C-alpha cells in the first residue's frame, strides 16, 4: 500500500525560468539512468524478493524514496518552464540575448504535449522504456547493478550541476548528489551483508549445480590486444576476488576447436548454397 505525502523530500524551486535546462534535466528523470528507472527497478526488485525482512525492506524503502525524487525533478522541470517564452519573438522582446538562447534550446514538446510540464522522456525526447530496469530475483546480481545505476545517475547529475548557474537548481542537485553517495555506499554495504549472511557469494549464481566444465577457463585472462600491458593488471595474476581460484594470463590465446563446417541448408529457406551443391 502506498500513501502520498504532499510535501517534497527536498525543495525543488529554481530562481528563474530556463526552458533549455528543463530539457537537460529530463535526462535524470526519464533517461536510462534516471530516477524513473531506479525507482521502478528497486520497487520491482523488492516486489520480486522472496526473502522477507531487511533486504525486501531495503529495496522497497529506497524505491519509494526514488519515487519522491521523481516528483522533485518533475516539480523542478515544471517550475523551470513557468513564465518561459513561447516563441523566439517573445524571447527577443525581452531584449535579453541570454533569454533568447535559453528558449532556442528548449523542447517544444514541453509546451505542446504537456502544457508546460515534465514528460516521461529523456533529454532528446525519447520515451522512457521499461526495458531499462532489471529485477532478476538474485539479490547479489541486482545489487551490483544498483551500484552501477547509482554511479551513472550521480555522474549525470554532477555534469548537469556544471550546466546551470541557478542557485535553486544547484541546491536540489546537491541534495540528489548526496543521496546518490548514500545509495552507492548502501548497495556496496548490502553486497557485503549478503556475503556475511552466507546467502549469496561470487560468482553469480554461486550455487550452480554443475562446476565449470573446464576449471582452467574459469580464472584465465585472454590477451587479444597487441602488447602485454594487460598482464600488469590485478586480473591477470594472483587470487581471484571470490577466493576460489588463481588468475592466470594467456598472452596468445589458442583455439580449442577446429573451424566449423556447416552442411547446406534446407533449400526451402532459399539460402545461398555452396558451389558444389
- Name the CATH topology of 19-196: Ferritin (1.20.1260)
Find the helix packing angle between 35-48 and 139-161, rounded to 10°.
170
What is the predicted pLDDT for the residue at 92?
62
| Block mean pLDDT (10 aa), the chain, length 277 | 94 94 97 98 97 96 98 97 73 61 75 92 97 97 98 98 97 98 97 94 78 73 94 95 90 91 88 79
Output DSSP code: residue 82: T
Q: Where are the chain's structural domains?
A: 19-196, 215-250
User: Can you give the pTM of this predicted structure?
Assistant: 0.88
Strand 220-222 to strand 246-250: parallel, antiparallel, or no bridges (unpaired)?
A: parallel
What pLDDT, on a 0 to 100 scale, did the predictor assign at position 174?
98
248 DSSP β-pair partners:
220
pLDDT at position 93 is 63
CA 125 to chain centre: 18
CB–CB of 90/99 below 8 Å? Answer: no
* Contacts with 218 (C-beta within 8 Å, 6 or more apart), sequence order: 212, 245
Amino acid at each position: 500500500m502506498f500513501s502520498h505525502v504532499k510535501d517534497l523530500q527536498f525543495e525543488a524551486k529554481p530562481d528563474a525560468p530556463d526552458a533549455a535546462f528543463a530539457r537537460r534535466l529530463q535526462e535524470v528523470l526519464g533517461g536510462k539512468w534516471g530516477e524513473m528507472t531506479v525507482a521502478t527497478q528497486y520497487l520491482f526488485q523488492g516486489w520480486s524478493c522472496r526473502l522477507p525482512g531487511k533486504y525486501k525492506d531495503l529495496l522497497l524503502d529506497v524505491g519509494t524514496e526514488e519515487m519522491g525524487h521523481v516528483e522533485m525533478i518533475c516539480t523542478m522541470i515544471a517550475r523551470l518552464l513557468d513564465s518561459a517564452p513561447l516563441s523566439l519573438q517573445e524571447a527577443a522582446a525581452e531584449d535579453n540575448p541570454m533569454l533568447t538562447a535559453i528558449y532556442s534550446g528548449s523542447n517544444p514538446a514541453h509546451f505542446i504535449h504537456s502544457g508546460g510540464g515534465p514528460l516521461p522522456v529523456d533529454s532528446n525526447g525519447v520515451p522512457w522504456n521499461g526495458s531499462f530496469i532489471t529485477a532478476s530475483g538474485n539479490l547479489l546480481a541486482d545489487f551490483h547493478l544498483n551500484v552501477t545505476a547509482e554511479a551513472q545517475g550521480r555522474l549525470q547529475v554532477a555534469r548537469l550541476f556544471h550546466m546551470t548557474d541557478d542557485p535553486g537548481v544547484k541546491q536540489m542537485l546537491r541534495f540528489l548528489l548526496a543521496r546518490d553517495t548514500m545509495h552507492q555506499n548502501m548497495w556496496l554495504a548490502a553486497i557485503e551483508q549478503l556475503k556475511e549472511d552466507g546467502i549469496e557469494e561470487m560468482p553469480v549464481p554461486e550455487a550452480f549445480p554443475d562446476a565449470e566444465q573446464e576449471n582452467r577457463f574459469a580464472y584465465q585472462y585472454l590477451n587479444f590486444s597487441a602488447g602485454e600491458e594487460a598482464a600488469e593488471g590485478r586480473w591477470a595474476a594472483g587470487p581471484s576476488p571470490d577466493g576460489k581460484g588463481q588468475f592466470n594470463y594467456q598472452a596468445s590465446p589458442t583455439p580449442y576447436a577446429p573451424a566449423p563446417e556447416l552442411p547446406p541448408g534446407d533449400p526451402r529457406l532459399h539460402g545461398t548454397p555452396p558451389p558444389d551443391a
